Amino acid sequence: MSYLVASEVPAEPAGVRFRALVEGQGLERGGILQIPGAHNGMAALQAKAAGFEAAYLSGAAMTASMGLPDLGMITVDEVCFFIRQVTRASALPVLVDGDTGYGEALNVMSMVRSFEDAGAGAVHIEDQLLPKKCGHLNDKRLADPHDMAAKVAAARKARRHLYIMARTDAAASEGMDGAVARAKLYMDAGADAIFPEALHSADMFREFAARMPGVPLLANMTEFGQTPFFTAAEFEAMGYRMVIWPVSSMRVSARASERLYAAIRRDGGTQNVLDQMQTRAELYATIDYAGYEALDRSIVSTVVPHGMPQRD
């Protein structure tokens, strides 16, 4: 598939395709929607090749790949760069971490339109105050729930097709009652789904789902956080329609790069880590190098027919 050929680009907007995946859970497609993190275009291609139907762009993965902490410092335009490369490479509908919406209501509306124009399928907005933190860290400061609800309503008003999720980090400081109350308010404001962050037991996941019947819920299976390891099937049994593994691809890639640089420094070259690399043939197959060359030749042959005199 090449994004250069119009007939090979999905006709439906990414938001429509993402919604169909969520709403098709348990029906035509079956099973919980599994959304792995893809921190760049190459990772998105590999996720698609593995059979995934959607991808996730984590704020933590984006900022880490830029050498920055996840403290709400990057801009909408910088995120759009990541959205464009992931969607261009894979054509997957992408769920994007929208942090706190990059400001208040008008800023949220601008973010929604920018993300849609870049090709995003869904966004989640969280109810923290800046400087925001990873949801699995302590001392998070929460926005007033009605201020957050206004952001959700603004996102709903601005969107053409973008699937809108509201994330609440309230469980840690306001308990389950506070998190559920916020989630219901955000649904009333126009959210399509809810993302309860940093729940730390199966009982919490089950209780939240039981108290939000019929609402599409997203679970976050990040490593090294407060949530114990659960499989996709376990989250589905607890009442969740979507699950993300937000930073996994970036973590694995970063560890591999770390080992590579150490080996070069130690050994004076890469000769001892060749078995850890994609070969040239494997790389070219992943990015469809031959397909792009064939596309180029096909265009040239239609413009310059055989037998036509060529310039010396």
139 vs 301 pLDDT, higher one: 301
72 and 90 in a single domain? The answer is: yes
pLDDT band at 303 (very low <50, low <70, confident <90, very high): low
DSSP-based three-state secondary structure for 78 = helix
CA 312/CA 309 separation, integer angstroms: 9
Q: What is the mean pLDDT of residues 145-157?
A: 98
Q: Is residue 253's pLDDT more than 80? A: yes
Q: Is the dihedral of CA 258, 260, 263, 267 positive or negative?
A: negative
The first and second tokens of residue 160, run together, are 């053409």
pLDDT band at 311 (very low <50, low <70, confident <90, very high): low
109 vs 173 pLDDT, higher one: 109
pTM of the shown model: 0.92
Report yes or no on 209 lying in a domain. yes
pLDDT band at 300 (very low <50, low <70, confident <90, very high): confident
215: DSSP letter: -
259 and 180 in a single domain? The answer is: no
The first and second tokens of residue 295, run together, are 């596309």
225 vs 142 pLDDT, higher one: 142
- Picking from 212, 232, 248, the residue at the C-terminal end of a domain is 248
pLDDT band at 302 (very low <50, low <70, confident <90, very high): confident
Report yes or no on 119 lying in a domain. yes
133 and 271 in a single domain? The answer is: no
The maximal CA–CA distance of the chain, rounded, in angstroms, is 79
102 and 213 in a single domain? The answer is: yes
Q: Is residue 7's pLDDT more than 90? A: no
How high is the pLDDT of residue 27? 45
Q: Which residues pair with 243 in a beta bridge?
A: 34, 219
53 and 154 in a single domain? The answer is: yes
Range of lowest pLDDT (27-31, 123-127, 175-179): 27-31
What are the CA-CA distances from residue 89 to residues 96, 154, 288 (Å)?
16, 30, 10
What are the CA-CA distances from residue 285 to residues 38, 39, 238 (Å)?
18, 20, 39
The first and second tokens of residue 68, run together, are 């920055």
Report yes or no on 291 lying in a domain. yes
Report yes or no on 65 lying in a domain. yes
pLDDT band at 43 (very low <50, low <70, confident <90, very high): very high
Q: What is the mean pLDDT of residues 144-156?
A: 97
Q: Is residue 166's pLDDT more than 70? A: yes
pLDDT digits (tens, 9 = 90+) for 24-38: 854 455 689 999 999
Do residues 268 and 243 lie in contact, with contact meaning Cβ atoms separated by under 8 Å? no
Helix boundaries (H) for the chain: 14-23, 41-49, 59-65, 76-90, 105-118, 145-158, 171-189, 202-211, 232-237, 248-267, 280-286, 289-303
Residues carrying an active site annotation:
56, 70, 97, 99, 124, 126, 134, 167, 197, 220
User: If you average pLDDT over every residue of the chain, what do you get?
Assistant: 92
How high is the pLDDT of residue 40? 96
CATH number (domain holding residue 75): 3.20.20.60
Percent over 90 (pLDDT), the chain = 81
The first and second tokens of residue 291, run together, are 């397909």
Q: Is residue 145's pLDDT more than 70? A: yes
25 and 56 in a single domain? The answer is: yes
What total number of domains does the chain contain?
A: 2
40 and 138 in a single domain? The answer is: yes
173 vs 134 pLDDT, higher one: 173
How high is the pLDDT of residue 305? 58
Q: Is residue 130's pLDDT more than 70? A: no
115 and 262 in a single domain? The answer is: no
- Picking from 220, 248, 276, the residue at the C-terminal end of a domain is 248
Q: Is residue 224's pLDDT more than 80? A: yes
How buried is 310 (Cβ within 10 angstroms: 0-12 exposed, 13-18 middle, 19+ buried)? Answer: exposed
Do residues 64 and 247 lie in contact, with contact meaning Cβ atoms separated by under 8 Å? yes
Report yes or no on 198 lying in a domain. yes
Do residues 251 and 243 lie in contact, with contact meaning Cβ atoms separated by under 8 Å? no
Report yes or no on 309 lying in a domain. no
217 and 80 in a single domain? The answer is: yes
Q: Please tell me the chain's helix, strand, coil percentages from 3-state DSSP, rounded to the nearest 5.
A: 50, 10, 40
Q: Is residue 304's pLDDT more than 80? A: no
Do residues 230 and 219 lie in contact, with contact meaning Cβ atoms separated by under 8 Å? yes
Report yes or no on 105 lying in a domain. yes
- Residue type present at position 20: A
How high is the pLDDT of residue 140? 67
Q: Which domain holds residue 281?
A: 255-302
128: DSSP letter: B
Q: Determine how many CB atoms are found less than 10 A away from the CB of residue 131.
A: 12
267 and 233 in a single domain? The answer is: no
How high is the pLDDT of residue 39? 96
pLDDT digits (tens, 9 = 90+) for 190-207: 999 999 998 989 999 999
Report yes or no on 102 lying in a domain. yes
212 and 295 in a single domain? The answer is: no
69 and 172 in a single domain? The answer is: yes
